[in-house]
């Protein structure tokens, strides 16, 4: 099979949602459905010792939330599907944002009772900005929630996207009977095995007791209205992210997932290309191998001090043992160990293709945003970096643990969840983050993975601004309200106390050009 055939078999998507909408559970059940795992763990089942397969970090297991992006692959209907399960918690939006740079489509999970929530909206906007196709799974239909029309209206008005229900629920909560499958013209019961078939007018082809049920009558009436007055199915609009196919179901009960997968593999895009810094597009079918690092994760296996760099293959074919050039350093090296992920199991792979996500064992050579290539030189566009808002001074509780302390900071900072700064004259380490939970996870991991207790002293909320013309900075500009620090690349950064302090500084020193990250 040639490279083009292999690439056409790949589908790569990220799952986005607000916390608790059921994103990780859906990931679990997709893996279970695809035969990747025999028994899905559940976030609820902490007492049994079963945890969601994609939540491998100890702090995630204890809290029942995802704070890292997990990568998994499974086979379905002749396709190789790569799933990236993203953190739902807003404090980890930067990790999620970068992960969404590595996917070709997204699955948006919505809680039927809560509808569109703030984090869902934020992540949707990232997907919309990239113009990637979005598939919507409305979850928890086995509980009482909002009416289907209300949910569709909310999606359309809040997200400014057209909807096309591929399935339609019959009842909800205790009266949830099942879903109407629009493509197959069947009714798939929630608690029974046998599907019911419908004719061209969506009437049952054989008598069934459900016909007397009020929820069934309402659902058929609603569905006929959707057929007559709803948006038309449009493959082009799906491809550009202007129309989202909508599915109803219950991830916890593995219900509605088959219908989702059947449609997803038919309409989700195959791997897409990526733009270089020069603005050129690298095609997936380009014979030369290329890829970029979008995530680094240390200590996935606590028994070993391992560190994995997650790479999205953009073009060509990866072969174990191949030589690849790291664009940033211009150094060529042989990649002898690469892994593919099956939830928390990982196996060494011999080859992979454009669209696949693989893990490269890393001794500290790689950074987030790095490009690797063979053949003609490639340098992909930079990945986004957020401007942090919260800051903490951090130090080791035990001065004898300084080596562990700095090693831990170095590795965890390279993962990209927190940013590292140091004061100008004392080199006091200062951490910056988008949200408070990142500090808690940092403290937890320093203790558990690097055996180092730390002291954290809040610096508070600050406005961070970098300096374009560093040569014009003078020591006298540094003050408590405009604190001058260095970032991990030794660039000068002002931490302003508030908007007033920043305006005052700009008025006093108009020659200093300040800028922010995202």
Helices (H) and strands (E) in the chain, counts: 12, 31
pLDDT value, residue 240: 93
Answer with the residue of higher pLDDT: 101 or 246.
Answer: 246
pLDDT value, residue 269: 95
DSSP class of residue 412? H
Count other Cβ atoms within 10 Å, centred on residue 494.
24
Check: CB of residue 111 under 8 Å from CB of residue 117.
Answer: yes
Where do the CATH 3.40.50.300 domains begin and end in the chain?
A: 10-267
- CATH of 289-374, picked from 3.40.50.300, 3.30.1360.40, 2.40.30.10, 3.30.565.10, is 2.40.30.10
Q: How confident is the model at residue 87 (pLDDT cuts 50, 70, 90)?
A: low
86 is in an annotated binding site: yes
DSSP class of residue 271? P
Answer with the residue of higher pLDDT: 449 or 392.
Answer: 392
Share of the chain above pLDDT 90, in %: 58
Q: How confident is the model at residue 23 (pLDDT cuts 50, 70, 90)?
A: confident
DSSP class of residue 100? G
Distance in angstroms (rounded) separating the CA atoms of residues 323 and 319: 9
Distance in angstroms (rounded) separating the CA atoms of residues 325 and 322: 10
Distance in angstroms (rounded) separating the CA atoms of residues 292 and 379: 9
Buried b (16+ CB within 10 A) or exposed e, 269-285: bbbbbbebeeeeebebb
Cα separation values, 415 from 48, 72, 367, Å: 31, 19, 8
82 is in an annotated binding site: no
252 is in an annotated binding site: no
pLDDT value, residue 51: 46
SS3 at position 397: coil
429 is in an annotated binding site: no
DSSP class of residue 22? S
Q: Supply angle C-alpha 155, 159, 160, rounded to 5.
A: 100
139 is in an annotated binding site: yes
85 is in an annotated binding site: yes
55 is in an annotated binding site: no
pLDDT value, residue 61: 53
Q: Taking all residues of the chain, what is their mean pLDDT, rounded to a whole number? A: 86
Answer with the residue of higher pLDDT: 185 or 122.
Answer: 185
* 157: Cβ contacts below 8 Å, ≥ 6 apart: none
pLDDT value, residue 345: 60
Residue 38 pLDDT greater than 50, yes or no: no
pLDDT value, residue 331: 95
Residue 335 pLDDT greater than 50, yes or no: yes
387 is in an annotated binding site: no
Residue 137 pLDDT greater than 70, yes or no: yes
Query: What architecture (CATH level 2) is domain 390-515?
Result: 2-Layer Sandwich (3.30)
Q: How confident is the model at residue 44 (pLDDT cuts 50, 70, 90)?
A: very low
77 is in an annotated binding site: no
Check: CB of residue 59 under 8 Å from CB of residue 444.
Answer: yes
* 58: Cβ contacts below 8 Å, ≥ 6 apart: 444, 448
376 is in an annotated binding site: no
Check: CB of residue 176 under 8 Å from CB of residue 112.
Answer: no
Least Cα distance to 70 among 99, 40, 35 occurs for 99
Q: Tell me what the mean pLDDT of segment 363-376 comes to.
A: 91
Cα separation values, 288 from 20, 240, 338, 378, Å: 42, 27, 18, 10
Distance in angstroms (rounded) separating the CA atoms of residues 275 and 392: 36
pLDDT value, residue 62: 57
pLDDT value, residue 41: 40
Could you read off the pLDDT of 249-283 as tens digits, one per residue? Answer: 999 998 999 999 999 999 999 999 999 999 999 99
Length of the chain: 518
Could you read off the pLDDT of 429-455 as tens digits, one per residue? Answer: 999 988 888 898 889 888 888 899 999
Least Cα distance to 305 among 317, 297, 294, 313 occurs for 297
Q: Tell me what the mean pLDDT of segment 464-490 comes to.
A: 94
Residue 63 pLDDT greater than 70, yes or no: no
374 is in an annotated binding site: no
CB neighbour class for 185 (10 Å; exposed up to 12, middle 13-18, buried from 19): middle
Q: How confident is the model at residue 48 (pLDDT cuts 50, 70, 90)?
A: very low
Where do the CATH 2.40.30.10 domains begin and end in the chain?
A: 289-374
189 is in an annotated binding site: no
Residue 315 pLDDT greater than 50, yes or no: yes
23 is in an annotated binding site: yes
pLDDT value, residue 290: 97
87 is in an annotated binding site: yes
Single pTM value for the model:
0.82
Share of the chain above pLDDT 70, in %: 88
Distance in angstroms (rounded) separating the CA atoms of residues 335 and 358: 12
Angle between helices 436-450 and 402-414 (to 10 degrees): 130
* 301: Cβ contacts below 8 Å, ≥ 6 apart: none
18 is in an annotated binding site: yes
356 is in an annotated binding site: no
Per CATH, is 10-267 categorized as 3.40.50.300? yes
Dihedral sign of CA atoms 71, 256, 109, 166 in order: positive
Q: Tell me what the mean pLDDT of segment 337-363 comes to.
A: 83
Backbone angles phi, psi at 465, to 5 degrees: -135, 130
């Amino acid at each position: 099979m040639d490279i083009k055939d292999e690439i056409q078999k790949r589908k790569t998507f990220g799952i986005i949602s607000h916390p608790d909408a059921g994103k990780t559970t859906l990931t679990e059940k997709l893996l279970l459905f695809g035969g990747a795992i025999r028994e899905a763990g559940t976030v609820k089942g902490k007492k049994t010792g079963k945890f969601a397969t994609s939540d491998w970090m100890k702090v995630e297991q204890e809290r029942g939330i995802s704070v890292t992006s997990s990568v998994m692959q499974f086979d379905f209907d002749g396709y190789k599907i790569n799933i990236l399960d993203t953190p739902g918690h807003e404090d980890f939006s930067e990790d999620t944002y970068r992960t969404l740079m590595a996917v070709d489509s997204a699955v948006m999970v919505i809680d039927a009772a809560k509808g569109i929530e703030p984090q869902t909206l934020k992540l949707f906007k990232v997907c919309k900005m990239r113009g990637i196709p979005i598939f919507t799974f409305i979850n928890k239909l086995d509980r009482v929630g909002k009416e289907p029309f209300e949910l569709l209206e909310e999606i359309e008005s809040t997200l400014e996207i057209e909807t096309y229900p591929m399935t339609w629920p019959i009842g909800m909560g205790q009266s949830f009977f099942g879903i109407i499958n629009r493509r197959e013209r069947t009714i798939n019961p929630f608690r029974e095995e046998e599907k019911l078939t419908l004719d061209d007018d969506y009437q049952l082809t054989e008598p069934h007791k459900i016909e007397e049920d009020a929820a069934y009558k309402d659902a058929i009436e609603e569905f006929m209205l959707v057929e007559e007055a709803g948006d038309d199915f449009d493959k082009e609009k799906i491809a550009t992210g202007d129309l989202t196919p909508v599915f109803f179901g219950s991830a916890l009960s593995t219900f509605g997932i088959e219908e989702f997968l059947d449609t997803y593999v038919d309409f989700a895009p195959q791997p897409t290309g990526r733009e270089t810094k020069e603005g050129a597009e690298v095609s997936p079918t380009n014979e030369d191998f290329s890829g970029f690092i979008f995530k680094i994760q240390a200590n996935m296996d606590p028994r070993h001090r391992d560190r994995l760099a997650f790479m999205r293959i953009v073009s060509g074919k990866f072969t174990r043992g191949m030589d690849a050039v790291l664009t940033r350093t211009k150094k060529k090296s042989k990649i002898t160990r690469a892994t593919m992920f099956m939830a928390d199991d990982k196996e060494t792979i011999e080859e992979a293709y454009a669209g696949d996500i693989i893990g490269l064992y890393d001794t500290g050579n790689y950074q987030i945003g790095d490009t690797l290539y063979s053949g003609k030189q490639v340098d992909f566009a930079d990945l986004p970096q957020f401007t942090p808002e919260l800051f903490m001074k951090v130090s080791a509780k035990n001065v004898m643990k300084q080596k562990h302390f700095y090693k831990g900071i170095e590795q965890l900072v390279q993962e990209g969840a927190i940013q590292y700064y140091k004061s100008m004259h004392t080199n006091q380490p200062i951490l910056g983050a988008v949200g408070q939970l990142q500090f808690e996870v940092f403290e937890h991991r320093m203790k558990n993975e690097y055996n180092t207790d730390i002291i954290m002293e809040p610096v508070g909320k600050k406005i961070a601004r970098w300096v374009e013309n560093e040569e014009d900075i003078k020591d006298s500009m540094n003050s408590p309200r405009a604190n001058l620090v260095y970032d991990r690349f030794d660039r000068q950064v002002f931490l302003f106390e508030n908007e007033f302090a920043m305006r005052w500084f700009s008025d006093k020193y108009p020659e200093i050009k300040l800028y922010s990250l995202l």
